Amino acid sequence: MQLPLNPGRGGRNQHLALAAALCLNPEDDIYLLVAGTDGSDGVTADTGALVDNGTISRGKFQNLDPWACLRAADAGTFLEASGDLIHTGPTGTNAMDVIIGLKLSCKTSTEQLTPA
């Protein structure tokens, strides 16, 4: 992706988090944490985001378009409006970016194996 001439707020972690949130269905019980270990993402003081199946609807409720925010490299604006932005401040380390996914629910093995 090439940045637009006047990119908005956010960095690669926020962009990835918002793009991933667009792939979640309302019934998905999935959380995705995308963050930089140094406490910043791009030229922002925000480190990333923790998104879930409600991220997109919460941002749209604030009259924001997730696709337009991605095109404008402005994921941070959307994620702040949805309440999913993470701000830790400087951590004193810069080891890597961290991506953690968590799926809370799934069919139990007894549901899958019960004969009809």
User: Crossing angle of helices 12-21/75-82, nearest 10°?
Assistant: 60
Q: How would residue 106 be classed by pLDDT, with cut points 50, 70 and 90?
A: low
Cβ atoms of residues 84 and 55 within 8 Å:
yes
Residue 111 has pLDDT above 70, yes or no: no
User: pLDDT of 49-83, one tens digit each?
Assistant: 999 999 999 999 999 999 999 999 999 999 999 99
Model pLDDT, residue 41: 85
Of the two residues 40 and 51, the one the predictor is more confident about is: 51
